[in-house]
Structure 1
Amino acid sequence: MADARPAPALVQPRDGAGAGHHRALDGAVGAAAGRGARGPRSGRGAPLVSETADVRRVRIGFWLGVLAMALFAVTLPATRMATGSDQDPQLSPLFVTAARAALAGSLSAAYLLLTRSPLPARRHWKSLALAIAGNVIGWPLLLALAMRSVTAVHAAVIVAVVPLATAACAALMLHARESVGFWLCAVLGAALVVVFSLVRARTGGGFAFHWADALLIGAVLLTAMGYVAGADVTAALGAERVICWMCVVALPLSLPLALWFWPNSADLAHIHASAWIGVAYVGAVSMWSGFFAWFRGMDWGGPLRMSQVLLLQPFLAMFFAVPLLGERVDALSLGFALAVVATVAVGRKFGRAG
């Protein structure tokens, strides 16, 4: 749940140099765990070069992934801070969407200039366009619109299905074959999200699918599509440069829109400082700098291991919503979040097996 997060393990290449590199890192950790503190084995068939450096690299990559996951977990509360609620509206969701993209685009432009990054090849633009549609426009806009009407704790349950949705999109878009068990888990995860929305509506006096939940589900599907499209060009462009090019290409649209939707003087008087902090966070961290830690963690720690770290994100989002927004984590939300995360975990096992 993170914002514009990278594709999980199931959309990473299973073959080729990139896949082999990640499998080698995973194997290094397993070998180190089996040896304990004994160090490299000696004797016939033993490796001649110590794997200590590789193990340290994997460990650092793991903690970089944990850091990025924690940063991404603040996205939902920060978006709620920026947009406010129906009872206390703050910044327009349209402004929040454009402003975060404009801020990330400006930072990305500086990064690409400093690193003298070449332009993407013509064959990469289709995937970049899909990634922009999903992660720069679709996810932020639908999320901002929804967060006006639902709490961050509520949204955390809905978007907990993002990893499973991304894996399903990868299977469909990349024509990958998955097991029956994986698809059953995907259907179960979607069903849990719908049931949660209906049950939540019933506790509020009705029994209908809330329009904000429909927006959140749409955001999940769009960001899943964006993750898969972004992963398709990551090997060619470099992980950090993918998000930068996405934001830079969108900058000619996002910057004018941010200025167009800038709040007028009458509205500015009623906007809290926390709303501006929320916009700054989702633009500078959720949509940009958080990815540098995440992509490096994916590279050093291995995508399979890092994708499991994402299972903690819904719970951290709930945790951050308490001090930042004064929300309360109720048993219903926590129970459904546990069920969705368990479904995602089981689905990943089926996906890897398939």
Structure 2
Amino acid sequence: MNQQEVRGLWLGLVGVTIFALTLPMTRLAVGTPEAPQMSGVFIALGRAVVAAMLSAAFLVASRAPWPRRGEWVPLVITSAGVVFGFPLLTSIAMRYVQAVHASVIVGVLPLATALVGAWLHRQRPSSGFWLCAALGSALVVGFALLKAGTGTVLHPADMLLLAAMVCAAVGYGYGARLSQRMRAEHVICWALVLSLPLTLPLAWWSMPRQPVQPSAWWAFGYVAVFSMWLGFFAWYRGLAMGGTVRVSQVQLVQPFLSMVFAVSLLGETLDAVTLAFAVAVIATVFIGKKMPVRPLASQETA
């Protein structure tokens, strides 16, 4: 492993640590059904507006060139995944589930990201990879059903979290590919600025009309500046420098970091069942990411 790959891994770890605080901070900002704070819609779109303002200033200061013709569509897809999809779905869901619980559901994100990356790079995952993906998904669904206590029906919040995971994987995959052609910092900045005509009026419409606790505003500030902006600086730069397949493995520690933050910041409890499912999911993801992924061309000509 050369020096650039090592630096990419460290940057990826910084990004993952920043992202690990997203679920606990979102939970703090939205509150609970008994003590609601901000709406999930405002948190998701408001944080995108704040980050877009910072992004516009950064693009001007860094004299960023306009995206080329072939980069606009990937930017739209990236923004759909990481500016709208993941923040909106998780922000709505987090009022109804604890951050520790959500950390397990989102634990299979590295496999989903690897799958999107394989598709974008025209690669064919092995049977072992598909087996691990299926097992990891089954563990997550089983955990959600067990905790929901609703038999064979998923809680709506868990369904939102699963959909959010898909959105994040697509956004990560397209953003990582763009980071090989643009400055990594410019990818998220352009995605945010491109979304501003939608996020600004919707954030204004969904602003809280009643007083909320100062802690909720602090949490909102974190997800706006760090989760929505600075975290992607480190994450996309790390993916570009160290390679998507290698660096994405540091996501394995994100669920555990989220649990630690949820326990320390929110006073949530971590029971043995939740921890066991988290370990099982991460073990499945770890094994799955070790499975071979072959280029389609080599198999077609073989």
Structure 2 length as normaliser, TM-score?
0.92
- Equivalent residue, structure 2, for 1:272: 213
Distance 2:222 2:103 in 1: 18
- Equivalent residue, structure 2, for 1:88: 35
Q: Is the 8 A contact 1:73 1:316 kept in 2?
A: yes
1:213 to 138, 155, 158: 158
Q: Is the 8 A contact 1:168 1:186 kept in 2?
A: no
- Equivalent residue, structure 2, for 1:78: 25
Equivalent positions of 1:47-126 (< 5 A) are 54=3, 59-126=6-73
Q: Is the 8 A contact 2:176 2:244 kept in 1?
A: no
CA offset at residue 67 of structure 1?
2.4
Q: In 2 relative to 1, CA 246–197 (structure 1 residues): closer, same or farther, beyond 3 Å?
A: same
- Equivalent residue, structure 2, for 1:257: 202
The number of equivalent residue pairs is: 295
Unmatched tracts of structure 1, length 5 or more:
1-25, 29-53
Amino acid in the other structure paired with 1:341: I
Q: Is the 8 A contact 1:130 1:229 kept in 2?
A: yes
Unmatched tracts of structure 2, length 5 or more:
296-302
- Of 99-108 and 175-184, more deviation after overlay is shown by 175-184
2:131 to 173, 177, 184: 184
Q: In 2 relative to 1, CA 349–290 (structure 1 residues): closer, same or farther, beyond 3 Å?
A: same
Distance 2:8 2:108 in 1: 24
Equivalent positions of 1:295-334 (< 5 A) are 295-334=236-275
Q: Is the 8 A contact 1:199 1:207 kept in 2?
A: no
CA offset at residue 229 of structure 1?
2.0
Q: Is the 8 A contact 1:97 1:137 kept in 2?
A: yes
Partner SS, residue 179 of structure 2: helix
Q: Is the 8 A contact 1:61 1:298 kept in 2?
A: yes
CA offset at residue 187 of structure 1?
0.8
Partner SS, residue 209 of structure 1: coil
- Equivalent residue, structure 2, for 1:336: 277
Q: Is the 8 A contact 1:201 1:207 kept in 2?
A: no
CA offset at residue 343 of structure 1?
0.8
Distance 2:131 2:5 in 1: 33
Q: Deviations over 1:65-92 (max 9, x none)?
A: 3222211110000110111111111101
- Equivalent residue, structure 1, for 2:105: 158
Q: In 2 relative to 1, CA 59–221 (structure 1 residues): closer, same or farther, beyond 3 Å?
A: closer
Q: Deviations over 1:232-281 (max 9, x none)?
A: 322222211111100111112212221211112xx12xx11111111111
**CA-atom RMSD, angstroms?**
1.9
Partner SS, residue 69 of structure 1: helix
Q: Is the 8 A contact 2:176 2:239 kept in 1?
A: no
Structure index of larger Rg: 1
Q: In 2 relative to 1, CA 117–341 (structure 1 residues): closer, same or farther, beyond 3 Å?
A: same
Q: Is the 8 A contact 2:179 2:240 kept in 1?
A: no
Q: Is the 8 A contact 2:110 2:249 kept in 1?
A: no
Partner SS, residue 194 of structure 1: helix
- Equivalent residue, structure 2, for 1:32: none
Distance 1:301 1:123 in 2: 24
- Equivalent residue, structure 1, for 2:187: 242
Given the alignment of the two structures, is residue 136 of structure 1 paired with residue 77 of structure 2, yes or no?
Answer: no
Given the alignment of the two structures, is residue 196 of structure 1 paired with residue 137 of structure 2, yes or no?
Answer: no
Q: Is the 8 A contact 2:126 2:293 kept in 1?
A: no
